[in-house]
Amino acid sequence: MKKLMNAPEQYTDDMLRGIYAAHPDCVKDTAGDLRCYCSAKKKPGKVAIITGGGTGHLPLFLGYVGRGMLDGCGVGGVFQSPSAEQIFNVTKEVEAGAGVLYLYGNYTGDIMNFDMAAEMCELEDIPTRSIVGADDVLSSQSVENRRGVAGIFFLYKCAGAAADQMKSLDEVLAVAQKAKDRTRTVGFALSPCIIPEVGKPNFELQNGEMAMGMGIHGEPGIWTGPLKTANELAKESLEALLGDLPVPQGGQVALLVNGLGATSQEELYILSGAVSALLGEKGIGIHRTFVGEYATSMEMAGASVSLLHLDEELKALLDAPAHTPFYTQI
Amino acid sequence: MKKLMNAPEQYTDDMLRGIYAAHPDCVKDTAGDLRCYCSAKKKPGKVAIITGGGTGHLPLFLGYVGRGMLDGCGVGGVFQSPSAEQIFNVTKEVEAGAGVLYLYGNYTGDIMNFDMAAEMCELEDIPTRSIVGADDVLSSQSVENRRGVAGIFFLYKCAGAAADQMKSLDEVLAVAQKAKDRTRTVGFALSPCIIPEVGKPNFELQNGEMAMGMGIHGEPGIWTGPLKTANELAKESLEALLGDLPVPQGGQVALLVNGLGATSQEELYILSGAVSALLGEKGIGIHRTFVGEYATSMEMAGASVSLLHLDEELKALLDAPAHTPFYTQI
């Protein structure tokens, strides 16, 4: 294991100290707990959106806390859920009188702890709603059982813009639900990553091998085999995406080509170019293309492709400005 | 070699196709050559700033072409220089009547081709000035012989802002020179990268080994040995930086912690937190911290630390807004 760190058990908190030191105008901790991560700015009367999840996926999850996106994040250890108490402490700090949307990924531990936090909120008369990202098409046939991966960025962006426009809690939830219903992701891994406290790779791939559909924690995919070309992967990914979420000719999408960590930006653009060309052949318009690291697994190599099937409402929300320490859109 | 690509010989052009497809409002090619990379917008009467260099360092070099930064970039193959003709074609497309600054890294092939392009400009009465980034402290005792690495971002940002404020060619050059004189970088590698057309790692490091001072193409460093902790690396890097460019107590710097490709953002923040703490102990203020991938070597693991010793002029230029497909600052 070669990582820039001091000790495995300090990994998450040392990272958080670095983030707070780098961006003191944007973010702060609360309740004396580094892992209770909050926007430094509060907009009275705005619905607060709170996410949470394990460390190791930057810019997920905390990286989207900022103007026009999220208000707070419960930060777990590497690949671990934040506690219900941490989520509740973040909630108390950032809620601004209009209720709270919990928006996070579809993982058992996170669901349990967010649900417990929601119960704690109920006792204090803070209204909450919850929705989980579950965009990973190849993780399950059933939508309810799918993992949440990079496509949650679209949910953050659209729901965050709606909240920033002072929509009500149920309106913000409806936007998140619509973005969820119209977002799909396909991902594939080329190499594993190493959890600092474990010290060895979380799965194995041979030379020249890849795993289609593998999850961001190394969850099994649908096939493991020889590495395909970017054009082949673009074709296979789009078939899975559009097979699950048909987009008519003349329809418009947002495209997100996300790197899992070690894959270079050069390669991500080679892949996004291939996906763009195929969408063009199908007569599907791309309103906006996002390429880069949006949801990673530390130093895992690989990528994911997400589509959001746009309508006029989602297009306007996606285009609204946003500013966080990890993501700025003008 | 595991890369998302179609064929090694298509790597650079496939990447460029992807970038143009993703960002059609921002950038375009010219002269029928994908590698002649230009801003899609021209501001009459503004000094044009042009850079260039090999593929494999995204967001360097082309990633900084956009509003408030650069106007064009000659794009070479992986780790290769663009041709003089390509640089000249970019120049003809983006020059806007106020002359052209060539601002690029201190590499022999690049210098030769930019100098030839400048001669071609002279024949067409386009005034040019040239300056090379040479910030890599550990690459040579003599400043003239140092390589240009991630610190060139500060030169782009400050000179780009000065040009955007409609300063004259010599004024923009003076800003770039001042930023150069006050910028230093120290870098270290934890793993090699693979040039697509070569197919094997460009150097070797054993398990648990790192190379301090190694260049972004694998040029030799000052020592190879066991991986140090983030705190130790922060201390050693700062000693080299401040030993070469003393910053007085009460002075202010911009800090850039840059990932070379495969190193996770989590690790970069662990490192930047350690550097921040040490600067605080020395009574040196950090005006702005930049953490992320600014100059990479594809999938190389490692990082660099750059400091820009600020004065009031550079601070204002650094804080000016900028917007490119790879970098947005508000």
Å between B37 CA and nearest CA of chain A = 15
Å between A230 CA and nearest CA of chain B = 5
Residues 6+ apart with CB under 8 A from B286: A21, B252, B253, B254, B255, B276, B279, B280
Q: Which ranges of A95-244 would DSSP assign to H, the alpha helix? A: 108-123, 152-164, 169-181, 230-244
Chain B CB contacts of A285 under 8 Å are none
The answer to whether the Cβ–Cβ distance between B263 and A329 falls below 8 Å is: no
By the CB < 8 Å criterion, does A268 face chain B?
yes
Supply φ then ψ for residue A215, to 5 degrees.
-80, 170
ipTM metric: 0.98
Chains A–B, number of C-beta pairs less than 8 Å apart? 186
The answer to whether the Cβ–Cβ distance between A266 and B11 falls below 8 Å is: yes
pLDDT mean over B109-135: 98
Which residue in chain B has the smallest CA separation from A56? B266
Q: What's residue A218's pLDDT?
A: 86
User: pLDDT for A236-255, tens place per residue?
Assistant: 999 999 999 999 999 999 99
- The sign one gets for the Cα dihedral B260, B264, B268, B274 is negative
How many percent of chain A have pLDDT more than 70? 100
Å between B300 CA and nearest CA of chain A = 8
Which residue in chain A has the smallest CA separation from B275? A18
pLDDT mean over A29-54: 98
Give the integer Cα–Cα distance in Å for A85 and A82: 8
Cis peptide before B59 (omega within 30 of 0): yes
By the CB < 8 Å criterion, does B230 face chain A?
yes
Q: What's residue B216's pLDDT?
A: 87
User: pLDDT for B167-181, tens place per residue?
Assistant: 999 999 999 999 999
Q: What's residue A238's pLDDT?
A: 98
The answer to whether the Cβ–Cβ distance between B269 and A15 falls below 8 Å is: yes
Q: What's residue B180's pLDDT?
A: 98
What are the structural domains, with CATH classification, of chain B? 11-181 (3.40.50.10440), 183-319 (3.30.1180.20)
Give the integer Cα–Cα distance in Å for B225 and B210: 6
Q: What's residue B220's pLDDT?
A: 86
Q: Which ranges of chain B would DSSP assign to H, the alpha helix? A: 11-22, 84-94, 108-123, 152-164, 169-181, 230-244, 265-281, 312-319
User: pLDDT for B216-253, tens place per residue?
Assistant: 898 988 999 999 999 999 999 999 999 999 999 999 99
Å between B125 CA and nearest CA of chain A = 36
Q: What's residue A216's pLDDT?
A: 87
Chain A CB contacts of B303 under 8 Å are 4
How many percent of chain B have pLDDT more than 70? 100
Chain B CB contacts of A276 under 8 Å are 18, 21-22
User: pLDDT for B30-81, tens place per residue?
Assistant: 999 999 999 999 999 999 999 999 999 999 999 999 999 999 999 999 999 9
pLDDT score of A302 more than 90: yes
Chain A CB contacts of B22 under 8 Å are 269, 272-273, 276, 289, 291
By the CB < 8 Å criterion, does B266 face chain A?
yes
Chain B CB contacts of A15 under 8 Å are 266-267, 269-270, 273
Catalytic-residue membership of B57: yes
The answer to whether the Cβ–Cβ distance between A4 and B191 falls below 8 Å is: no
DSSP state of A303: E
Instruction: Give the closest residue to B262 by CA, choosing from B299, B303, B295.
Output: B299
The answer to whether the Cβ–Cβ distance between A270 and B59 falls below 8 Å is: no
pLDDT mean over B284-296: 98
Å between B327 CA and nearest CA of chain A = 9
Encoded tokens for A105:
């990924």
Q: Which residues pair with A323 in a beta bridge?
A: A67, A328
DSSP state of A204: -
Q: What's residue A288's pLDDT?
A: 98
Which residue in chain A has the smallest CA separation from B19? A269
How many percent of chain A have pLDDT more than 90? 97
Instruction: Give the closest residue to A275 by CA, choosing from A316, A311, A247.
Output: A247
Decide: B287 and B310 in contact? Cβ < 8 Å. yes
Give the integer Cα–Cα distance in Å for A117 and A320: 30
Q: What's residue A220's pLDDT?
A: 87
Mean pLDDT computed over every residue of chain B: 97
By the CB < 8 Å criterion, does A77 face chain B?
no
Task: Report the phi/psi class of residue A46: left, alpha or beta, with left for phi > 0 and alpha for psi in -120 to 50.
Answer: beta
CA distances from A325 to A58, A268, B89, B104, B153 (A): 11, 22, 37, 28, 18
By the CB < 8 Å criterion, does A261 face chain B?
yes
Give the integer Cα–Cα distance in Å for A80 and A195: 11
pLDDT mean over A68-93: 98
Decide: B193 and B202 in contact? Cβ < 8 Å. yes
Q: Name residues 82-141 of chain A within 8 A of B (Cβ).
A: none
Give the integer Cα–Cα distance in Å for A38 and A30: 7
- Residues counted in chain A: 330
Q: Which of A269, A286, A298 sits opposite B15 (nearest CB)?
A: A269
Decide: B256 and B272 in contact? Cβ < 8 Å. no
Catalytic-residue membership of B217: yes
Classify B40 as helix, strand or coil: coil
By the CB < 8 Å criterion, does A21 face chain B?
yes
